[in-house]
């Protein structure tokens, strides 16, 4: 009884019966001195054991981890699955070659959206920000293996980084950009991993990171073009698009980030910039990309990307600073990588998201879904409200999205060309589309028989903010292919 109350249990290795780190954590959780720190029910313990064994239906996702011929990288992956699909486990991968099955450990169970997550320095806890059940973003902390998260009472805040000393970088007073659902900005602040009142540092920051020693920040700000600063005040990179997910290298000498050439569009490249502002692209263009994390040894950068052929899914890819890449994890859904622990575990989320094009025409009739592929955006009605054009993401052939045309009194939509729909002429004969990979060009797409034309508006660049104004102009004056 004295040992139970006062002494730490011996190491498994001392008993001559070594076990996996995951089972060790479960056993030690059962042996916690404080009852509040133990599993609260046999059901919770059973769930943890099922997740470990891989027999649980919710943890039965099987994935292949493809490795290059180098030394071992990952021992396991802890997964944060957002939206409706919340599953998890550990998986093992290696740079030394071979294919291994992935195992996931569930860390969240609510329905909502996760935006920002990090391991604590000891690797035993996770701090993350989430918008659960329609509520605003909030910061939570959870011990790995425990589904009962604790709120840090930080509302409208997002986790964007954590230092080796446990200081958490946040965006507070978060506001969503009107141009994009996945772009936010707020006030850069720092707070202890145990919570408390955050200390504000810099206003109007779009994204940021904190260095491992906790002394410097990399920050993205808008002063006309968006710019990446590291440290704050030293501009390393500028773009007319936007920058997201800046991540300072473990040695503090460079910053990896996602470059998005079109403001509001998540397509783009993984870039690396050094302290002198020498930036280079490490990858080709992805149709969508989210999440960046360095391996603890600084030898690889993990990020999540969707290609034109896998637009409905986003895989995790590892890229070396020299640009050599390998596929790490490819499972259905929108994966996002958040952090890599010192022992190689990877923190990730997987989201199931759809977007519908809803129409009520005439206005007093019930809304109905006229989508084609499950991710519809930017629709425009004709002047007589009898036809509609809209864009869709998810084509297996179109790199620049697809424009669909549909008569509202008929079934089915017809793809009429590549691009993102901006508007339709009053007579309904032509759709106007924006080409994300060529931001100085507009397409004029016939909705019936006819030839597609291209309008080059260089040196003007079209962005998502311009689309509303172009749409209004199209509806007001109409447009002919020769114009």
Report domain extents, the chain. Answer: 62-351, 358-477
As a whole number of Å, the end-to-end CA separation of the chain is 88
Cα-based angle 126, 128, 134 (whole degrees, multiple of 5)? 140
CB-CB neighbours of 480 under 10 Å: 10
Residue count (the chain): 483
The CB-side HSE value for 19 (13 A sphere, CA atoms) comes to: 14
For residue 185, the tally of other CB atoms under 10 A from its CB is 19
**Are 442 and 421 contacting, i.e. CB atoms less than 8 angstroms apart?**
no
CATH superfamily entry for domain 62-351: TolB, C-terminal domain (2.120.10.30)
Are 103 and 54 in contact, with CB atoms under 8 Å apart? yes
Residue located via tokens 């008929």: 410
Q: Respond yes or no on whether the N-terminal peptide bond of residue 362 is cis (omega within 30° of 0).
A: yes
Beta bridge partners of 270: 258
Per-residue pLDDT of the chain (483 residues; tens, 9 = 90+): 777 777 777 776 666 666 777 787 788 878 887 777 777 778 778 767 766 654 333 333 333 333 333 333 333 444 444 433 333 332 334 454 555 666 788 888 788 888 899 999 999 999 999 998 888 899 999 998 887 889 999 999 999 999 999 999 999 999 887 766 668 899 999 999 888 899 999 999 999 999 999 999 999 998 778 999 999 999 999 998 899 999 999 999 999 999 998 888 888 999 999 999 999 999 998 888 999 999 999 999 999 998 755 555 788 999 999 999 998 888 888 889 999 998 888 999 987 777 788 888 788 888 888 888 777 877 888 888 889 999 887 544 445 688 999 998 888 888 898 888 888 988 889 999 888 778 788 889 999 888 899 888 888 777 655 554 554 455 444 444 433
């Amino acid at each position: 009884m004295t040992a139970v109350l006062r002494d730490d249990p011996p190491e498994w290795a001392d008993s001559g019966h070594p076990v996996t780190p995951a089972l060790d954590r479960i056993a030690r959780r059962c042996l916690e001195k404080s009852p509040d720190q133990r599993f609260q029910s046999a059901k919770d313990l059973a769930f943890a054991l099922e997740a470990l064994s891989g027999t649980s239906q919710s943890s039965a996702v099987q994935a292949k981890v493809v490795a290059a011929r180098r030394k071992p990288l990952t021992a396991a992956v802890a997964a944060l699955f957002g939206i409706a699909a919340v599953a998890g486990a550990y998986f093992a991968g290696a740079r030394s070659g071979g294919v291994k099955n992935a195992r996931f450990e569930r860390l969240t169970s609510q329905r909502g959206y996760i935006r920002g997550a990090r391991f604590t320095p000891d690797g035993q806890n996770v701090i993350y920000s989430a918008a659960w059940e329609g509520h605003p973003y909030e910061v939570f902390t959870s011990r790995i293996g425990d589904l009962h998260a604790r709120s840090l009472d930080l509302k409208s805040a997002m986790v964007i980084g954590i230092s080796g000393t446990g200081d958490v970088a946040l965006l507070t007073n978060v506001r969503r950009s009107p141009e994009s659902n996945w772009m936010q900005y707020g006030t850069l602040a720092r707070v202890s991993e145990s919570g408390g009142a955050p200390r504000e540092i810099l206003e109007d920051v779009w994204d940021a990171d904190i260095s491992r020693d906790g002394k410097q920040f990399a920050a993205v700000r808008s002063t006309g073009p968006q710019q990446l600063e590291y440290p704050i005040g030293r501009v390393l990179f500028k773009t007319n698009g936007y920058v997201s997910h800046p991540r300072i290298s473990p040695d503090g000498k460079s910053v990896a980030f996602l470059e998005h050439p079109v403001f509001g569009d998540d397509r783009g490249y993984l870039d690396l910039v050094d302290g002198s502002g020498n930036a280079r692209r490490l990858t080709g263009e992805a149709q969508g990309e989210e999440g960046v994390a360095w391996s603890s040894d600084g030898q690889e950068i993990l990020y999540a990307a969707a290609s034109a052929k896998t637009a409905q899914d986003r895989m995790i890819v590892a890229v070396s600073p020299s640009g050599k890449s390998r596929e790490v994890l490819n499972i259905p859904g929108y994966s996002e990588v958040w952090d890599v622990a010192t022992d190689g575990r990877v923190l990730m989320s997987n989201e199931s998201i759809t977007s519908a094009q809803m129409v009520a025409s005439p206005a007093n009739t019930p809304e109905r879904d006229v989508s084609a592929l499950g991710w519809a955006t930017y629709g425009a009605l004709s002047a007589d409200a009898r036809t509609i054009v809209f864009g869709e993401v998810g084509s297996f052939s179109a790199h620049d999205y697809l424009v669909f045309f549909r008569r509202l009194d008929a079934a089915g939509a017809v793809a009429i060309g590549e691009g993102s729909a901006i508007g339709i002429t009053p007579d309904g004969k032509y759709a106007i589309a924006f080409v994300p990979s060529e931001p100085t060009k507009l397409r004029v797409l016939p909705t019936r028989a006819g030839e597609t034309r291209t309008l080059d508006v260089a040196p003007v660049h079209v962005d998502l903010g311009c689309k509303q104004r172009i749409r209004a102009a199209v509806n007001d004056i109409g447009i002919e292919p020769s114009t």
